[in-house]
Chain A
Amino acid sequence: MGRILRILIGLGIVGAAAFWVMTAPESLSEDSISGLEPNVTNGETVFYAAGCASCHAAPNATGEDKLVLAGGQKFPSPFGTFVAPNISPSEAGIGGWSTIDLVNAVKLGVSPDGAHYFSAFPYTSYGRAELKDLVDLKAFLDTLPADSTPNQPHDVSFPFNIRRSLGGWKLLFGGTGWVMADDALSPELERGRYLVEALGHCGECHTPRNALGGLDRARWMGGAPDPSGKGRVPNITSAALTWSPEDVAYYLESGFTPEFDSAGGHMAHVIENTAKLSPEDRAAIAAYLQAIPAVSKAAE
């Protein structure tokens, strides 16, 4: 009860009239991407690194069907059940979108008609993505099959269904600064940071959240309750994950742990994507995970 009350009070504060102006969705203009020539091949890498299909493919899609981004998968959360929308290049999806529409959706969580998206869409991570990569992503998405499945409404109750309140949420948690805030990273660590913190959005599940659903950066990658309510998403800092970098890279390639158990649950979806990255990218992710501060088991 105390937790719910805290959430309500928190939302009351951020939703207050004084914040009305500050909560208005802001978006980037065409000028911000002028001169960026789309590269479909890099767009495909961005697509897999960002794991788009894991949520936007139809429920239980496998193989080639994973490239049909018809939407429809349901994501239960403490705030309600979100349904992934159609993002295939059809009228039911993003067929009518310009490149800047996609950039604003992915980077800022703002729809083409200027509304906030719910943060089940991990735009607080994608906000760190480079504009060039998102221009390339749009070009790749346009090559995928069109599908006419209509979008389903989210099942989110009051007060979380007030989209304007997401503006306040973004003010609180939408910071796009790096968690590993170090200007002198090696090229490999810099790439690993980009893949983990921006495109891979690993922290969205592996980092615990506060009562308002914001990520607790002090316990970055320290493990969290599974969003389904059953089990835990593991701590993947060096305090708990004692695998070698080679073991981590091989897991991301094959799905096999060092004990040759296999990835399951949502992580099996993630492996389908990381298996398609280059060996250098998988090694960069492993290097980043070794470099982040350990979150002790006691602090989980």
Chain B
Amino acid sequence: MFTKPKLIAAIASATIAAGTAFAGGHNASPEQQAAKARQAQMNLYGYNLGVLGAMAKGEAEFNADIAKGSAANLVALASMNQATYWPAGSDNASIEGTRALPAIWEKSDEVFGYANALIEAATALEAASGDLDGVRAALGGVGKACGDCHKAFRAPR
């Protein structure tokens, strides 16, 4: 059982921890919190791609404003500074809950190359978002950028 001063101290330190890494659970290590941040980033890619993909597949009516907005979100997401997302020791050999392979840290130049390829592909998608055929074709480029990195650097389920 906590005494009252100890309880206040515990809450205070938990609040500080939550303030520094909001996404993490109480017991998540900094490496696990970073992995969760990466997955949140990937979910946001997936959400915006889903909006565009529904149009490309003919499941949703094409809307140039929405397409442009979603493509712009992808450019913004791909351009975010991820320096703190990838701490050493947050690979799938070190922690649970990630499929990030250790090769990411061994071949970081290659990974940066793929990160830049994604920015380029997303920028091309934004430029092509005025019509449906443009979106369809440019989504292929984004898919290739995703796949090129996942090919070598993400473990199978």
Residues on A facing B (Cβ under 8 Å): 60, 62, 226, 228, 230-234, 246-247, 250, 253-256, 259-266, 268-269, 271-272, 275
**Given contact pairs A231-B157, A271-B147, A272-B147, a sample of 20 additional A-B residue pairs in the complex whose CB atoms are under 8 Å apart:** A226-B156, A232-B156, A232-B157, A233-B156, A246-B57, A247-B57, A250-B57, A255-B144, A255-B147, A256-B146, A261-B42, A262-B150, A263-B150, A264-B147, A264-B154, A265-B150, A265-B154, A265-B156, A268-B147, A268-B150
- Write out the residue numbers on chain B whose beta carbons fall within 8 Å of the beta carbon of A260: 45-47, 49-50, 53
Closest to B42 in A: A261
A259 touches B150 (CB 8 A): no
Q: Can you give 18 A-B contacts (C-beta < 8 A)? A: A60-B152, A230-B156, A231-B155, A234-B157, A247-B57, A250-B56, A250-B57, A254-B53, A254-B56, A255-B146, A255-B147, A256-B53, A256-B146, A260-B53, A262-B146, A262-B147, A264-B156, A269-B151
A262 touches B143 (CB 8 A): yes
A253 touches B140 (CB 8 A): yes
Q: 1/0 per position for B29-55, CB-CB distance to A under 8 A?
A: 000000000000010011101100100
Closest to B117 in A: A62
A254 touches B139 (CB 8 A): yes
Q: How far is the CB of B101 from chain A (nearest CB, A)?
A: 10
- Write out the residue numbers on chain A whose beta carbons fall within 8 Å of the beta carbon of B49: 256, 260
- Write out the residue numbers on chain B whose beta carbons fall within 8 Å of the beta carbon of A233: 156
B50 touches A231 (CB 8 A): no
Interface size on B, residues (CB 8 A): 23
Q: How far is the CB of B127 from chain A (nearest CB, A)?
A: 18
Q: How far is the CB of B55 from chain A (nearest CB, A)?
A: 12
B148 within 8 A of A: yes
- Write out the residue numbers on chain B whose beta carbons fall within 8 Å of the beta carbon of A262: 143, 146-147, 150
How many contacts A-B (CB < 8 Å)?
71
The CA of A62 and the CA of B45, in the complex, are separated in Å by 24
B156 touches A259 (CB 8 A): no
The CA of A255 and the CA of B156, in the complex, are separated in Å by 15
The CA of A135 and the CA of B147, in the complex, are separated in Å by 32
The CA of A259 and the CA of B143, in the complex, are separated in Å by 13
| Closest 4 A/B residue pairs (Cβ) | A264-B150, A231-B156, A262-B146, A268-B147
The CA of A250 and the CA of B143, in the complex, are separated in Å by 11
- Write out the residue numbers on chain B whose beta carbons fall within 8 Å of the beta carbon of A272: 144, 147
- Write out the residue numbers on chain B whose beta carbons fall within 8 Å of the beta carbon of A269: 151
B156 touches A268 (CB 8 A): no
The CA of A89 and the CA of B1, in the complex, are separated in Å by 77
Closest to B139 in A: A254
B140 touches A264 (CB 8 A): no
The CA of A268 and the CA of B140, in the complex, are separated in Å by 13
- Write out the residue numbers on chain A whose beta carbons fall within 8 Å of the beta carbon of B139: 254, 256
A250 touches B154 (CB 8 A): no
Q: Which of B139, B146, B156 has the most CB of A within 10 A?
A: B156
* Residue in contact with B46 in the complex, picked from A232, A246, A259, A265, CB distance below 8 Å: A259
Q: How far is the CB of B138 from chain A (nearest CB, A)?
A: 11
